[in-house]
Amino acid sequence: MMENAPIIRHEHDGYTIEGFSRAAVQTYWRVPELKMGFDLGAHPWDFMGTPRWLITHTHLDHIAALPVYLARRRMMKMTPPDIYLPNSAVENVDKMLTGFTKLDRGRLPCNFIGVTPGDEIEISRELVLQVGKTTHTIPSVCYLIWQRRNKLKEEFAELTGDQIRDLRAGGKEVTREVRIPLLAYMGDTSPRGLDDNPDVYKARILISEMTFVAPDHRQEIIHKNGHMHLDDYVKRVDKFENELIICGHFSTRYSRRQAEHLVKKKLPDLMGGRMKLWL
Ligand SMILES: [Zn+2]
């Protein structure tokens, strides 16, 4: 393993969340079990194998590593990856890659999928991607991954396996689709990003930003700059139904100890142990 960029890891019920996020420094996450990554502020060498990256917005600390990642995949003869990003950014990001291709004399192949809030994109038979609008200083989105399963309809619950098979053979629809909100990734946003996408409060895993934690900051300025403060979480504490709430993107002005201390002053048990500070 080559550690060229820091990685924090956490496992939750079969899903591994890996990455790093500090405001203005770099943000990158991935969940290997989903073969999906989120934001490309930097790119640990070991993340190269993840073939699908969902970018929330084009601030440099969330996208700067895109050309590096594409060049590595090409060099290793891997297939061009899928890059999801706000539709309004695709043209300029493509131009940026063209510029690097000229400078580097190497192709940077990828498939762009431009997204707009409200989009629902089928990723696989099991996974559906929903795009939400967030509020930041430039166009930005959040991503919610739904897991879908086919469940036997209640009306057939009493039947035997043979009877169900016969019904199915006769062309009857015996199952219905159920969707579970598996993972929400917010990127950078003011608290409106959470409130405008209420399903994210129900996601089993929520990855969100808590850029500011100290009591001396002025809320309206933080919100105007498209970020969140610890107090925004305290105010909404009853809304979070998540099994795991990962808070990251802390400002560099806080050390790990300071951030932990300030959060635990307001949320002593870290929302019943469900909240994990990504530090
Ligand atoms: Zn940003």
pLDDT of residue 2: 60
pLDDT value, residue 3: 65
**Cα separation of 218 and 224, whole Å?**
10
Q: 219 alpha carbon to ligand 1 midpoint, in Å? A: 17
Q: What is the CA(60)–ligand 1 centre distance, in A?
A: 8
* Helix, strand, or coil (residue 70): helix
The sheet that has 127-133: what strands, in order across it? 120-122, 127-133, 141-152, 175-185, 205-209, 244-248, 275-277
CA of 65 relative to ligand 1 center, distance in Å? 15
Ordered mean pLDDT values, 10 residues apiece, the chain (279 residues): 83 97 95 98 96 98 97 96 98 97 94 98 96 97 96 91 92 93 98 98 98 90 95 98 98 95 97 97
Residue 143 near residue 131 (C-beta atoms within 8 A) = yes
Give the model's pLDDT for residue 4: 77
pTM value is 0.94
Compute the distance from residue 99 Cα to the ligand 1 centre, in Å: 23
Ligand 1 centre and the CA of 240: distance in Å?
Answer: 23
Q: Which of 270, 200, 278 is nearest to 240 (CA)?
A: 200
Say if CB 186 and CB 210 are below 8 A apart.
no
Rounded to the nearest whole angstrom, what is the distance from the C-alpha of residue 172 to the centroid of ligand 1?
50
Q: Which helix (H) or strand (E) holds 131?
A: strand 127-133
Residue 81 CA to residue 75 CA, distance in Å, equals 13
- How far does residue 201's CA lie from ligand 1's centre (Å)? 21
- Alpha-carbon span 166 to 47, nearest angstrom: 47
At 167-193, the pLDDT tens digits run: 999 999 999 999 999 999 999 999 999
The pLDDT of residue 216 is 79
Backbone angles phi and psi of 76, in degrees to 5 = -85, 10
> How many angstroms separate the alpha carbon of residue 275 from the centre of ligand 1?
22
Dist. CA 158 → ligand 1 center (Å): 53
Q: Do 156 and 180 touch, CB atoms closer than 8 A? A: no
